Structures are given as C-alpha cells and as structure tokens.
Homo-oligomer: A and B are copies of this chain.
C-alpha cells in the first residue's frame, strides 16, 4: 500500500469523476477525487478490519456494524472478530476524536486506498472514518471472482457541512424503528443532520416532563418518550449524524394549545387538527405567559437535544388569530408594528433570546430572519436561493430546502439540478458563499406514514445527498441514475422498505387477482406516478389527512417511474437517429404493444377490487397512448409523415390521457408525444436534430 503517496499526488489536481460507468465503482455521493487502480480486493469470510490510532466506543461499534452490514450485502459468513491489525483486510487509522457534540464545522474528510492485497482508510477524526467506511461498503460488489472491491484511491470530503433530511413526525406519527432505519440510510449516503419536525397542528410528538399536557393532550398517544429521544440521539451520533429538533411556532401550533390554551391568540378549546393546510391558530406574541411557557419548554428540550441548533419553525402565520384579538391589535398599535409580519418579528426576537439563554443557536424558516436577529442564527430557506443570498449578504448563515421538498413527488433529476449556490447565491462572494451551509431534503408527512415513508425518501434523497456532498461539477444525470439504482439496492440491506412496500401494498389492493391480472396491474402501475407539487391537496375539497388511510395506488407507486424513464431514454435514442436500429425499434414497439394489450387484465381485476377500479381509466389511457405511439411508429417505419389530422387526433388522445386521474399520471404519455411529433415531421429519423 505504498503506492498511495505517488498516486495521490498526481490525481488530486485532476479529479477523475464518474461518467465512465462499467469501469467506475457506483459510489453515491461521488467522492471529490477518485482514481481507479488495476485489479480488485477479494472479499471473503476471512475479512477483518482493525482500528488503529485514535479509537473510541463509537468507532468500535461502527467497526462491528460494518462487518454485519458486509455480511448482509454479500451473504458471506463474515464474523465480528477482534480488531487485529496483523489480520486486517481493511486497516483504519483515525487521527483524533471529533467533538463530543458534533459541530457543523467539523472535518469529515478521509482517504481510502484499496489494492488487491488490502485496504487502508485514513481520517483526521472519527467522523471521517465513519464516512470512509460507508464508501468501502459501496465499493463491494459481486465480481467474476466472487465479491470484491476494485482497486482505487479515493480522497474525499464534503462540499457543504450541513446535509440534512427532515422527517415530519407530526402530521403522521413515524415510529422510532422507522426513524432508525432512515438514519441508517442517511449514514450510507453521508447525510449528517436529521431534522426532526416534532410539533405541528396535527400533533405534539415529544414527551415533556415539565409541561406534560403538551404530549398527553396534544399527541393522541403517539409521541416519543424522552428515553426514546435519548436513544435516538445516541443512535444518530454513532452514525455521525446530528439531530436538530424543530418545534414550530408561533403558527402550526394547534397541538400546543390543546393542553395550554392560555398561550393562544384566540379562545379555546383547541383540538388536534385532522385537516392539512395553513390553519389559523397561533401563539399570542403579546402575552408574557407565552414566553414563560416557552422559556420552560426550550430549557427542557435544550437539555434533551444536545445539538447546538434549535429549530423554532416560524413559517406560515396567516395572522387571522392575531387580527381577531383586540388586545393583540392594541399591542401592535402601541408598538407601532405596521403589519403582522412585524409583530411576528417581535415574537421571533423574543424566542431567539430564549434560545440563546439556554445555550443554543436558533434556526428557523425564512420568516425568522428579522432585523436584529443574533448573528449565530441559521436561516432555513423554503423560499429559495434569493432569501439565502439576501441573508448571506448581511452575514447570516443559511441552508436550502426549496427544491428539496421530496413530498412534492419530483424526479430525482429535478432535485439533483437544484444547487444551493445557484440563482442569486451564485453571485455571492467566496466569503459569503461559505455562509451557505448546505441544505435539507424535507419529508413532510401529509401523505406518508410508517408504511410508505421509505419509498418517498429513498432512493431520491441519495441524489440530494450527492448534490450536497460532491463537487459542484458532478452533474451527469445518467450517471446519477445508474449509481442511484445500485445504492438503492444496497439500502434494502439496511431494512429500508422503499422497494418492497410497493409490491406488498399492490398485492393487498389486488387481493383476489389471478397471477395474470396481478401482472397486468403491475405493468400499469409501474408507469404511473403520483401527481406533483400540491395537486393532490388542491384537487380535494377537504383534507382530513390524519383520518384518511394511505392505502391507495397513489400511496403505493414510487414518486418516479423507473420503467417510464427507461422507456423515455429508448424513445429519445430512437428519435435521435436510432430509428434504423432494429433492436431499438423492436424495444419501442414491443413495449408499446405490451401496454396496448394490457388493459383487459386490469379491467377484469377492477371489477373485483375498488382499489384497482380507481386506475381503470388510467389503464385505458395507457392503452390509448400506446396505440397512438404504435401509429406514429408505423408512419416512421413507412417513411411517411403523419398527416396533420392524424397528429392532431393523436395529440388530443395523448393530452387527455396525460391528465391526472385518481391523483395519478400516465408517465409514458410525454414520451409517446415525442414519437408523434417526430413522425409528423417526416418520420422519426428525419427529425434528427
């Protein structure tokens, strides 16, 4: 392993990044620099790993966890033996401890060398070691000689220090074991902040010993005990992950007021909200009782959550509760606050002082960025890079979530394209850019519960994790998808259910299906996606989210259809000149024929199950889209242009099919429209740009 020095010196200047798939290992996030060697390190049951240099309990646990995980990933009889450097296949050297309470500014870099005879991981501190171990696990893959890790030299460190995932446990309670497996997933893709959204209108989810009516009356019995939280914090720390708690205020706070109506702006009684939306209840910012209660509460929580940051929410106060309260209006007048926003600024200042008093720094949504805010606060931007840039120009730090709202059912590619330093932030000075700490994927839980949450988080969050870790130049979408697919498979060995739940939920809905009917349903749903953005919410007249089962097809299908994406790739290849390539033509036409002929099976099953009946129209739509595609293909095959009339008719069919039904979209519609457009201009081949 003496080669390291030599190789490293050369390749650090010219980082070799993914893009040469088939050769390069499927790492995600891509490391900042990587150079492939020759040969591979064979992984077998004799595999051992030893810790040298600085050690601690956490590293020893990480070592054991690594071996268990390697055993799962390979099915080899990897035993958890002692840490003996003379027998180690992977030799780990850690320089020193990381901070007791993990800090946003800590070094997470590491170097990893793999040669056919062994591997060596070096890191300045324990965090870097944790990161490097995950890289090694991703390197291990089936090979012509059993499992192996390719010879490689990696020098890696994150681009941003704050790489987070928010899980909203309020709107639907998410059980602790689900959080834990997601923490495992976060570790695998090198995320380092778990943002726990713990209170909202629909539930207060943490036990408070000082203000017990918060969880007793505000949770419907579904909350985390303090010992569970302590356990979770330790679990996260073991994985190099900080836990930032959020208690949203002064809005999004009905659940507080069920137990403590005295802090509300309007008379109670209050109830835990079942509906979703920007609701009216808000804390009374003019009442000293409010601050007294918050002082007590923040003091208690500041001890429970060791992280330096305390998220105070602050978003979406509609002001109605304040307008309705004469005393509050008087206060506003007396203080010369022209708007409710100014009143909220007053509230924010008061709360930020309480957070400071208890030894923490406040983080909150854009709204908390108010004049005179302490310089150590962090702006959490749901609005976008504009507000991040504005804050940075005034010396404030910020993180981005706009563009990373994974509840909106966007494609991984769309999230992947969002860069915290794009837009206004791209024009910041280098010093100002450093104030942009990173970002967080946000898993708002209106339409997720413990059953389907994994499939909404994974694998797309791996793409966001790469955006936040890897060099800004890593942007190849095709490479991203290939690697994300590999990582997605590995994530299943952590117990994540992002793939398995879909089949199970579908089976449940298909109940009495014959094998053929079930196959037809699956063929259909494999190319359906849930509607995007807030369409599901907007198209419903009522939003009783906590009392509505999440057991429909829209709740089961993944946010992004792999099958439809692959088909679109084939269509694009066809149009871009491969229309004479028999294998490409056959791929497109046989797929279209399969979709065209798929409807009968779905329709017969729809008669047996109301859940399947919901997609009966989508099934017809898919068949119609496929027929349209076949007509376009026919024209291309005959080297004829589609007539204007035909084009118009097919386009109308496709447009009608592309409209959402049962909150689902028939995704191949867009690809087929491309075929039609190409055929209308003289056959696909002539449409080549």
Contact = CB atoms under 8 A, between A and B. Distances in A.
Interface of A: 22, 26, 45, 73-77, 141-146, 451, 485-486, 489, 492-493, 500, 504-505, 507-512, 515, 547-551, 555, 562, 566, 607-613
Q: Tell which of A76, A512, A515 has the most Cβ of chain B within 10 Å.
A: A512
B144 A609 contact: yes
B610 A144 contact: yes
Contact of A45 (B451, B509, B549): B549
Nearest to A509: B142
Contacts of A607: 144
Given A489-B507, A500-B500, A566-B515, A613 B76 contact: no
Given A141-B512, A486-B512, 19 more contacts: A73-B508, A74-B551, A75-B508, A75-B549, A75-B551, A76-B549, A77-B548, A142-B508, A142-B509, A142-B510, A142-B610, A143-B511, A143-B512, A143-B608, A143-B610, A144-B609, A146-B610, A489-B507, A493-B504
A242 B485 CA distance: 45
A479 to B, nearest CB: 14
A594 to B, nearest CB: 11
Contact of A505 (B75, B146, B451, B562): B75
The count of identical subunits is: 2
A492 B504 CA distance: 8
A631 to B, nearest CB: 23
A612 B547 CA distance: 48
B550 A75 contact: yes
7 contacts: A22-B512, A45-B547, A74-B508, A75-B451, A141-B512, A485-B515, A486-B512
Given A504-B492, A566-B515, A142 B77 contact: no
B610 A145 contact: yes
Contacts of A555: 75
A489 to B, nearest CB: 5
Contact of A142 (B451, B492, B547, B611): B611
Contacts of A492: 504, 507
A547 B532 CA distance: 51
A551 B75 CA distance: 5
